[in-house]
Chain A
Amino acid sequence: MSDLSRLPSLGAQFAVLSLLAVGGTNAVAPEMHRQMVEVSHWMSDRDFAQMFAVAQAAPGPNLIVASIVGWRVAGGWGALVATLAMCAPSSIGVYVAWGLWRKVQDRPWRAWVQAGIAPVVIGLIGASGFLLAKGADENGRAMVLTAASAALIWRTKLNPLWILSGAAILGAAGLV
């Protein structure tokens, strides 16, 4: 599986994805799929779908799909190169942007800029929640589970880990 000659191209592709990923990793999933499956022919459609599902089920940022896809393409080095390429360009960008944002912190316009941006941010999070639920909820019981989980995190201070553990037990018992 370790094909080190793929590393430069793998790194370059993920570095570009990093700079395209306004709104996060899942926003560039279609482009990642195009690169890995259709352009480079490094994995099949089914391979990619499976790797993506595992990344969703694993703990951690959505970015770890890059680690898994990189691993599938070129082993451990592939995982390392893809992960670093996926986060380095954007991290440097946000580091610089945050420095600039702090310099203007006492300007009066910052208050209304913040107020104008907040609903956009929250709307996007709600949208990603709906999209995730649409992909995950294959039947009515799964929808009830989604609603219960949303209500618990909204109305209580229950640790999300308990909610997920409960869901895992329901799943293992074949109730979802």
Chain B
Amino acid sequence: MSVPATAPPAAPTHAQLFLHFTWAGVRGFGGVFVMGRRMLVEETRWLTPEEFIEVLGLCQFMPGPNIVNVSVVVGSRYRGWTGALAALSGILLAPSVIAVGLAAAYQRFSAVPMVAHVMGALAPAASGLVLGSAIKMAMPVLARDRVLALPVGLGVLIAAGFLHWPLVPVLLVAAPVGLAIAWARRDSATELEAQ
């Protein structure tokens, strides 16, 4: 990980790792990706926006829940394997307990119309959060190299989102294509960075 010009704040302690990931977890309705990015990039600045995409990229190519993998990477980056454990426990413990509690409650109260109405509105809003975050992340990447980002990004979006290709074939096709275009254009990208 290259050190950014604006260095992140002092390395977090185990307790800070645990607490910030807990707080991101319990706010993360519809998956922690949106809150996790906000916590890591905007609130604590433990990762720059570019580092976040890099870490997420690695985590998406490894098996396992993405944000859980991110917590392992961020925790280990600052405090080794014990830091990874602290961050991992943070992202898992409270949400798991809450979820089991909710499941027990839902089995009891699922017939109440209010419960169904609220759940019916939360799901569309949560899906919008994911879409909006994807657009937010896409803008700087498109600005940097449209020739690379537009066909690869759109291709993955269509294959996975609309054609319902299984994930493994999507990755096996898209990753080599993305890497090949990036390799072919590596000099122009380097010049852009140097400017």
- Measuring CB to CB, which residues of chain A are less than 8 angstroms from any residue of chain B? 18-25, 27, 50-51, 53-65, 67-68, 71-72, 76, 79, 83, 86-87, 89-91, 93-95, 97-99, 101-102, 105-106, 111-133, 135-138, 142-143, 145-154, 157, 159-161, 163-164, 166-168, 170-172, 174-176
The secondary structure that dominates the B interface is helix
Q: Give Cα A135 to B128, complex, Å.
A: 12
5 contacts between A and B (CB under 8 A): A56-B123, A57-B102, A116-B152, A118-B149, A125-B134
Taking CB atoms and an 8 Å cut-off, the chain B residues in 31-48 that contact chain A are: 31-35, 38, 42
User: What is the interface size of chain B, counting residues whose CB is below 8 A from a CB of the partner?
Assistant: 109
Q: Give Cα A161 to B43, complex, Å.
A: 15
Nearest B residue to A99, CB-CB? B76
Contact residues in B for A111 (Cβ distance below 8 Å): 186, 189-190, 193
Contact A24 B66 (CB under 8 A): yes
Contact with B72, one of A91, A128, A132, A174 (Cβ below 8 angstroms): A91
Contact with B96, one of A60, A94, A159, A168 (Cβ below 8 angstroms): A60
- Measuring CB to CB, which residues of chain B are less than 8 angstroms from any residue of chain A? 1-2, 25-35, 38, 42, 50, 53-54, 56-69, 72-73, 76-77, 81, 84, 88, 91-92, 94-96, 98-100, 102-104, 106-107, 110, 114, 117-138, 141, 144-145, 148-150, 152-157, 159-162, 167-168, 170-171, 174-175, 178-183, 185-186, 189-190, 193
